[in-house]
Amino acid sequence: MHFYFFSMSRYFILSLLLCFFSISSSIAQVKLPAFFSSHMIFQQKSQAKVWGWDCPYSTIFLKGSWGAKSKTVADEHGRWSTTISTPAAGGPFSLSIKGSTKILLKDILIGEVWFCSGQSNMYMPLKGYSNQPVEGANSAILKSSKYLIRYFQQEKSAALSPKATAAGKWFISNTKNSPDFSAVAYFFAQQLSEALNVPIGIIQSSVGGSPIAAWLSESARQQLQLPSAPQKFQSDDLKKQRKWPTVLYNSMIHPFEGFTIKGMLWYQGESDVTAPSRYASCFSTLIQDYRQQWEMPEMPFYFVQIAPYGYLKANAGFLREAQAQVAETVKNTGMVVTTDLGEKAHIHPRKKQAVGQRLAYWALVHQYGFEGLQCKSPKLDKIKKDGEHVLKLFFQNARYGLSTFGGSTDGFSIAGKDRHFYPAKVVFNKDRSLSLSSDLVEHPVAVRYCFSSAQAGNFYNNAHLPLQPFRTDQ
């Protein structure tokens, strides 16, 4: 018994000493990552993960005003982590976190939380860029106060090793704050809010001009045998730092790993248009790696295929093909087609509302069970010869056939064995197929649709979802 008392006393004294030294280093208090703060949103009906730092071995108590409690003990480094049960959507609530000190988080909502990442087209705010507006932005901003949307903006940065915490804050959706919200993320959240009638949380972590390699973790980089980042940055300019593998993952993704979310949205690829051959493997590896890091093997991952734009150094059709390959081969993914939304002279298309809504359709169908709603773009199913001079095309996800909604029938081209492609004449058939022919191609063998950098598409299914670009030749 004396030995037990002595051991406990020594443990207590050791804890006090550790806490004393922690006080000297200014960390002897409950500290939280920036995204655990007032005005945040927790994922509803979940075991929401919460973590932070305090004195080593200190006991941490969590109590939500919705009735849930949790308790844990910090490790020898002061790091602690626990989960707390969340109810169905609602609020506002508060959450008290008590350790060496006490923190009270106020005005917490509980609803649906989505993580949004990518490059400048995901980051592009409702207020637009210089000489590059977002269509319908003023009306969206005017109405933004009516939606229970909360938006966390992660500050842009790069790092050579994984960061423990993020830099940013939660914003309430209103006319003052929403102009700075990602347009794609906002329109996605707005569509979900209208359909679900619950609070929507968006975490936005994007960097313009970033290649996909910069968003890979170190383990993913090694798996793909990509070059490593330098031991030291040679410049403080983010534009120069962002080109290296892993550096954006370290600062923009790693701090959030484990934060309980419903799924992820991704809009990136423009910076890899000259290197499509490795994009599919990089992208599929990234998705699987993020799922592993979040411990969500079935995590929904919805992404945007890059839009038409006048790239000078490459045919963007090959990058879109790589993106489509990921959608076909990686489970629980969905791709938004944007052949109708691009602008040849601007890499940042103004029609962001359609992008956000199309992303929302994927979530509403597959995560929230909305029957009768369509989310999948039509795509080529099969091709048949119809005599010597005509190719007949059949499509998936187009139950009632295709329509141009009054637009042109441009976009299709056909070729013979000489591999020279010419614009095709298009005929709509009663069996919902299309017949293609050209006076310049006597015996057609191959078809392409919008398989170029800037060709706009006008073919849709009845839900006004655009036909996916494709080629039948290899």
The answer on 310 and 185 residing in a single domain is yes
Whether residue 399 lies inside any domain: the answer is: yes
96 with 117, same domain: the answer is no
Q: Which residues, 6 or more positions from 31, have their beta carbon under 8 angstroms from its beta carbon?
A: 52, 53, 54
Q: What is the pLDDT of residue 6?
A: 40
Same domain, 358 and 449: no
Question: Which pLDDT score, from 0 to 100, does residue 19 have?
Answer: 54
- pLDDT of res. 351: 98
Six-digit token pair at 30?
Answer: 């409950």
Q: Is residue 176 part of a domain?
A: yes
**Cα 181 from Cα 141, distance rounded (Å):** 10
Which residue in the block uniquely carries the two structure tokens 């008590």?
A: 98
Q: Which of 39, 74, 109 finishes a domain?
A: 109
Q: Are residues 79 and 127 in the same domain?
A: no
113-137 per-position pLDDT tens digit? 999 999 999 999 999 999 999 999 9
- pTM of the shown model: 0.94
Q: Which two tokens stand for residue 434?
A: 């299309």
The CATH number of the domain holding residue 308 is: 3.40.50.1110
Q: Write a three-state SS string for 23-58.
A: HHCCCCCCECCCCCCCCCEEECCCEEEEEEECCCCC
Long-range CB contacts (within 8 A, 24+) of 397-402: 397/461, 397/465, 398/432, 398/461, 398/462, 398/467, 399/432, 399/461, 399/462, 400/432, 400/461, 400/462, 401/428, 401/432, 401/433, 401/461, 402/378, 402/428, 402/432, 402/434, 402/459, 402/460, 402/461, 402/467
Task: Kindly state whether residue 373 falls inside one of the protein's structural domains.
Answer: no
Do 249 and 145 lie in one domain? The reply is yes
Number of structural domains in the chain: 3
324 and 449 co-located in one domain: no
Inside any domain, residue 372:
no
Same domain, 44 and 119: no
Torsion angle of C-alpha atoms 166, 167, 172, 176, degrees rounded to 10: -150
Is 335 in the same domain as 450? no
Residue-number span of the structural domain to which 87 is assigned: 2-109
In a domain, 371, yes or no: no
Q: Is the separation of the CB atoms in 110 and 85 below 8 Å?
A: no
324 and 384 co-located in one domain = no
**Nearest-angstrom CA–CA distance, 442 and 387:** 11
Do 345 and 385 belong together in one domain?
A: no
Q: Residue 373: which of 461, 306, 262, 261 has the closest Cα?
A: 461
Which residue, 335, 366, 397, sits at the end of a domain? 366
Segments of the chain scoring below 50 in pLDDT: 1-18, 20-26
Is 452 within a domain?
A: yes
Residues 6+ positions from 293 with CB-CB distance below 8 Å: 217, 253, 254, 257, 258
Residue ending a domain, choose from 88, 109, 130: 109
Q: Are residues 429 and 358 in the same domain?
A: no
Distance of CA 471 to the CA centre of its chain: 27
One domain for residues 218 and 315: yes
CATH number of domain containing 384: 2.60.40
Does residue 242 fall inside a structural domain?
yes
Please report, for the domain that includes residue 85, its CATH number. Answer: 2.60.40.10
Domain-embedded: residue 205: yes
